[in-house]
Amino acid sequence: MNRSKSLAATSKSITAMARKRSSKTALIFFLLLSLLAFLSFLPVLASLPSLPSYSHSHSHDLHFHLPRHQRLHRRQKIGVRKFEIAEDKFWKDGKPFQIIGGDLHYFRVLPEYWEDRLLRAKALGLNTIQTYIPWNLHEPEAGKLVFEGIADLVSFLKLCQKLGLLVMLRAGPYICAEWDLGGFPAWLLSIHPDVRLRSSDPAYLQKVEGWWGVILPKVAPLLYGNGGPIIMVQIENEFGSYGNDKAYLSHLVKLARGHLGEDIILYTTDGGSRETLEKGTIQGDGVFAAVDFTTGDNPWPIFKLQKQFNSPGKSPPLSSEFYTGWLTHWSEKMARTGADFTAAALEKIMLQNGSVVLYMAHGGTNFGFYNGANTGADESDYKPDLTSYDYDAPITESGDVDNAKFKAIRRVVGKFSSVSLPSVPPNNKKTGYGSIQLKRTAFLFDLLDEIDPLHIVEAESPTAMEYLNQMFGFVLYVSEYAAKTGGSKLVIPKVHDRAQVFISCSPEVNGGQVSYLGTIERWSNQAINLPNVRCVSSTSLFILVENMGRVNYGPYIFDRKGILSSVYVDGSVLKRWKMISIPFHNLNEVPKFNPLIQVASKFHEVSAGKKLEHKKHAVSNVGAEGPSFYTGHFSIDTKTEVTDTYISFRGWGKGIAFVNEFNIGRYWPTSGPQCNLYIPAPILRQGENVLVIFELQSPNPELMVDSVDQPDFTCGPGQARVHQN
């Protein structure tokens, strides 16, 4: 600074002298003196040490040494794209920025509706979208990468940018999200020896490095500093609620920096308690620590605590999961959160310029088999999530915004917005297409004789689903036992998640009649009584096990499926098993073996007037039919607009449904609360549409379902509860 003042004084002196001479002489003299001054300055420049290459965070620290008015002046003159943290604020292109964000997950919305839902988020007043990246969606099989359709992350991110929305990207590798296995691909559970998920286990880290080596370079061009919408990238997710492995978290930071560079803001999210923040934050690595907490809590003491886990000046108050609603499990009442209560809690944060991300802004749907599950006191206290991920969010599962919560949140956001909010679009049209008559096209046991032996695995003991190279759906376990006078008792200590038990003699004895004996459920494991069946030889035992969704949160996340223990008949271990995979379509994959193809083929033969020959396995004590396939058609007139609809499964038992070969998810109205499954219009088509149902228990006696224009969450144990988070 002293040398600069000296040069300034010399310049003034020269200017005064110049006024006394001719303009030409003055110009020459000025140039000579300027040259001499510059040459005299060179040795000083040469003697200065070279400046270190400062990271993003260090450059901020240097900036703080300037007086406040100079700092602000400098920020106002910045012309480059930059998103940063300083003075306990977010700064976008040199101006203070308040994040008003919301979670909206691309993998829970059909791509055809991405723009529709994002525009509704903008109308809510949001300027930022937060989304997870589910590893299992993009790598359903080891080495098989999928980035098309609903997995086209790059297109989603570019669409956010096109619509003027910034992005907070939650890269995982663990995401929770009420998503199967917390986003981990289930094939990680087939590796031997076991990999320790969410840890410094080298085998696990090797897989993470491979995955991040694919996904992070894909998103790097879309970072804000590179011209894209991504302002922040999350490391792991709520790790402080799970473990205390700082080496693991630091390794993730190193990986992320290697792929994304030093300028991008990395962040963690943890619950707003000292314990979770101590375990989950990554201090010393320049990673911003955000918090989440129960809606309705006083936010500002928690934001004060947050500051202790960030560097000075680097702790803008941010609730990165502000809960607008809550999740619901099967057999529970639908969770509801009051609109005024939610809006009032939001206003407490925004009144003092706090930033916030709504979880969820729009929930969407757990299509296919991707719903997650939670546990309570132990892993048998198992609670699978609904197909709907409505979450009581302001933008409903079908995109509706004409509701009290949307209006209340928009009203609060509007108070603090520097610009007028976009107009609110109307709700999307929904149509009830009427009743759909179905026909039973196959009994599950009719298909067994048609299965290629290559798809049957034999072993001394039952094998977990993952070891069969099957990740979703069902496995049929088959063995034999010798029936005893007076009957026997079947015990399976560990079954994940729901097992239906059947027995049968050979066809020569009773026509191959299959008898249903009962169901063993993970959460209420009970012994099954095996009756004295007079078979000529041993009695066949069939155990159909359903994977109802892997645990996505907590200590029991290592959640294999199928029969995971020995099977006992009267205390003796039953040996010699056959395992038959029944995987079905999932969101982004079609299994090599798919019984639905066979079923559809048979149905078309019936439609063509050909006689359908069954193996004629009889069935008894299974309600009406037992595990069977049902198929129905419904038409949409070519002159009629195709709109969203819902299919009501009232009167049915439990199963899965497919519309035009798209897996729309699980239904279970006898458990509730969800009665209807949401069918987005892009799945439908003008003309003929095909519905296929795999019903596990008992169908509606009339073999009828209804296409209706409203959701329904009143099935099962009772009415909705109000959840004050």
**How far is Cα 542 from Cα 480, in angstroms, rounded to an integer?**
9
Q: How is residue 313 written in tokens?
A: 């000046």
Strand (E) or helix (H) holding 598: helix 595-607
Residue 416: count of CB within 10 angstroms of its CB: 16
Collapsed DSSP state (helix, strand, coil) of residue 55: coil
Taking alpha carbons only, the member of 540, 485, 549, 480 closest to residue 509 is 540
For residue 225, the Cα-to-chain-centroid distance in whole angstroms is 26
Listing DSSP states for 255-274 in one string gives HHHHHH-SSSEEEEEEESSH
Q: Do the beta carbons of residue 667 and residue 674 sit within 8 Å?
A: yes
Q: How many CA atoms lie within 13 A of 22 on its CB side?
A: 3
Q: Do the beta carbons of residue 386 and residue 328 sit within 8 Å?
A: yes
**How far is Cα 85 from Cα 314, in angstroms, rounded to an integer?**
6
Q: What is the DSSP letter of 386?
A: P
Residue 449: count of CB within 10 angstroms of its CB: 8
Longest dimension (CA), the chain: 129
Outline where DSSP puts E strands in 363-433: 373-375, 382-384
Query: Which residues are annotated as catalytic?
Result: 238, 321
Q: Which amino acid is at 571?
A: G
Residue 212 to residues 251, 252, 254, 260, 520: CA-CA distances in angstroms? 12, 9, 11, 11, 40
Q: What is the DSSP letter of 110?
A: -
**How far is Cα 165 from Cα 155, in angstroms, rounded to an integer?**
14
Over the range 23-60, which residues count as b (16 or more CB within 10 Å of their CB) and which as e? eeebeeebeeeeeeeeeeeeeeeeeeeeeeeeebbeeb
**How far is Cα 115 from Cα 117, in angstroms, rounded to an integer?**
5
Strands 655-659 and 662-667: antiparallel
Q: Do the beta carbons of residue 550 and residue 372 sit within 8 Å?
A: yes
Strand (E) or helix (H) holding 127: none
User: Residue 532: which residues within 8 A CB-CB, separation 6 or more?
Assistant: 483, 484, 485, 486, 487
Collapsed DSSP state (helix, strand, coil) of residue 435: strand
Strands 721-722 and 335-336: parallel
